Amino acid sequence: MAFAKLRVLLVDDNAAMRGLVRAVLGAFGCDNVFEAADAKRALSILSVEQIDVIITDWKMSPVDGLSLVRHLRNPDKSANPFIPIIMLTAYAEPSRVREARDAGVTEFLVKPFSAGQLYKRLQVIVNRPRPFVRTKAFFGPDRRRLNNEYEGPERREDAAL
């Protein structure tokens, strides 16, 4: 799969990490890469560039990556609340993964990462985009990963209605 047309925004306060991710993306054929060292710069780039995917770190200051995700998923504040977002972070605890998922992250990737892992995340985003869900408490990509169709007997009383 070629990612030559993909326009990616990297948001990380660590210039070396941005350089590493840029190099990996370049190896995939993705040369349309924009960089931001903080959330404010990321929002500035998003206001003038058509971006297809955001890859963001969690731990940044003054605004962290999770706050950026929440801002981007707010349809009242964001020009594109449907943009795919990969959270690339050193936080690997299950509670952090759930928190990122619940904020609207599309994919989650733990540092240190391999090129293959990033490639798989991008491939899923491009080839199998998830539908978005809107409830009173959540707006973002469908959090369900498996598409298991239950084929057993219906157990709910109102199922026959």
Q: Residue 73 and residue 92: Cα distance in Å, rounded?
A: 22
List the alpha helices (DSSP H) in 1-158.
Answer: 15-27, 39-48, 65-72, 94-103, 115-127
Q: What pLDDT digit, counting tens, does each position of 55-91 carry?
A: 999 999 999 999 999 999 998 888 899 999 999 999 9
Joined tokens for residue 12: 């990380």
Q: Which is higher by pLDDT, 119 or 156?
A: 119
In this prediction, residue 77 carries a pLDDT of 86
Please compute the mean of the pLDDT values over residues 110-130 and round it to a whole number: 93
Please compute the mean of the pLDDT values over residues 121-144 and round it to a whole number: 84
What are the b/e assignments for 105-123, b being 16+ CB within 10 Å? Answer: bbbbbebebeeeebbebbe
Question: The pTM is what?
Answer: 0.85
Give the residue extent of every domain in the chain. 7-160
User: Is the separation of the CB atoms in 51 and 82 below 8 Å?
Assistant: no
Our separate counts of H helices and E strands in the chain read 5, 7
Q: Does domain 7-160 have CATH number 3.90.650.10?
A: no
